[in-house]
Structure 1
């Protein structure tokens, strides 16, 4: 079901501290549903260490395989494969698993039905209990490129767990591609995490462009704001132009690294630290509006 308070944490680029802040937010609730939608490089489970009670294979598509006993080496599959996934080597048809897109054209045109499609289900999907509620996460198998579909599935299963009184907190993927759009869909609040660097500002502008059609409320956190004060001011100007609420600024501090080394969020590791108190104030504002 659709929750009344669905918050997605996004960043235009990797390395801004998005997952660290998501973990800190999750640790401030006694009963939350947490979704790790960064399926290409999922790492929230390393901090939250959920005890999984659901583990399923996820079908990302199909791959073609050839039965050499039935193959007559006519070469039609090679001619029709637009992905150049099929070659002939030493009188045998070879299909590259990494290049095959699973389009089924080769299966359809093979005169001897020597090519068949097999499910590609190496990716995994998990639901687990962690110390602050339920967590839904996934692992995209190496080389797979259907992460948008897997993100949509993670969100679907997350929503099934949410009650009206709960918050669904989503740690979204970096960038502006299909997985980001899938994680954003249906959320009523977005928090952008950025940093005062050239690439940070550039990628922030790109994700703001992506959000032009978004109808919910957009917030901004400037992480490591003190590494370049001029760029931090430029970021605040960008936010002002686009009517984005700046939740606040977080100074650079090794406390995030120390917390991760101990498999904890910063708000768990050192609750009274100035960084933790800052993040608590952001969370209070975010959940009260």
Structure 2
């Protein structure tokens, strides 16, 4: 099963034409102020770590964009004046592509909180495809909260970088994050040859396995821009993908449960 967790701009589906087998709303729970019950005690804005609630005179304001659905306000309100209510923030879609199951979630335009959608998607996959041996999760880039949510339960993480100063900078941050999460990981160098060897030297110094080096190729770029898979045209890419898969599986099997 392949799962696109880059819910703000999922693009794995550009390479597949599958049959839609399931679709459902992704929901986010947010508090809804009940003025008739509220005593204006002022506790709810104090317990919200995300500043999603404000007391303005005789009114309690809730900012759904800032809410992380932690339930603190609802659970601690002494008069139950902030019941949690569902809000549709996006869609989850499950496709069948030959023998591949492909799942993606997409946030509605204007939504800012990706974590809830990512968590819902992971829960759906864990329930429906529990018996599947290989589950690949396409994570959003960076080191922000959505990345943490996407990778925190992974058996192995593949970090994609480029041999440029910007690529090295982002890689060092990603490595630090994975080490804090205590996740085994390796690096794939994309567009190999466009820059210097600083990324390779960094990986060697930090004892980070380089799983593959994808060459900078116009042909690859043309195939990618046309929404085509590159491995059928490049035997060396197919070989690299096989090596990555074998390494990931062997590492995951050695890791403690």
Shorter-chain TM-score tier: 0.7 to 0.9
- Checking the alignment, whether the CA contact within 8 Å between 1:37 and 1:154 is kept in structure 2 is no
RMSD value, Cα: 3.4
Confirm or deny that 1:192 pairs with 2:138. Answer: no
Partner of 2:241: 283
Q: Secondary structure at the match of 1:40?
A: coil
Q: 1:235 to 1:75 in 2, by over 3 A?
A: same
Partner of 1:259: 223
- Checking the alignment, whether the CA contact within 8 Å between 1:35 and 1:154 is kept in structure 2 is no
Q: Between Structure 1 and Structure 2, how many residues are aligned?
A: 238
Partner of 2:250: none
Partner of 1:168: 135
- Checking the alignment, whether the CA contact within 8 Å between 1:63 and 1:120 is kept in structure 2 is no
Give structure 1 stretches of 5+ with no counterpart.
1-32
Provide the C-alpha distance between the structure 2 equivalents of 1:64 and 1:42, rounded to a whole number of angstroms. Answer: 30
Q: 1:47 to 1:161 in 2, by over 3 A?
A: farther
Confirm or deny that 1:238 pairs with 2:202. Answer: yes
Provide the C-alpha distance between the structure 1 equivalents of 2:124 and 2:45, rounded to a whole number of angstroms. Answer: 32
Out of 40, 43, 47, the residue aligned to residue 11 of structure 2 is 43
Partner of 1:205: 172
- Checking the alignment, whether the CA contact within 8 Å between 2:31 and 2:74 is kept in structure 1 is no
Provide the C-alpha distance between the structure 2 equivalents of 1:215 and 1:94, rounded to a whole number of angstroms. Answer: 40
1:154, distance to aligned residue in structure 2 (A)? 5.1
TM-score by length of 2: 0.73
Provide the C-alpha distance between the structure 1 equivalents of 2:154 and 2:11, rounded to a whole number of angstroms. Answer: 22
Provide the C-alpha distance between the structure 2 equivalents of 1:264 and 1:55, rounded to a whole number of angstroms. Answer: 25
Q: Secondary structure at the match of 1:122?
A: strand
1:195, distance to aligned residue in structure 2 (A)? 0.6
Provide the C-alpha distance between the structure 2 equivalents of 1:214 and 1:99, rounded to a whole number of angstroms. Answer: 28
Q: Which protein, 1 or 2, shows the higher relative CO under an 8 Å CA cutoff with sep ≥ 6? A: 1
1:204, distance to aligned residue in structure 2 (A)? 0.9
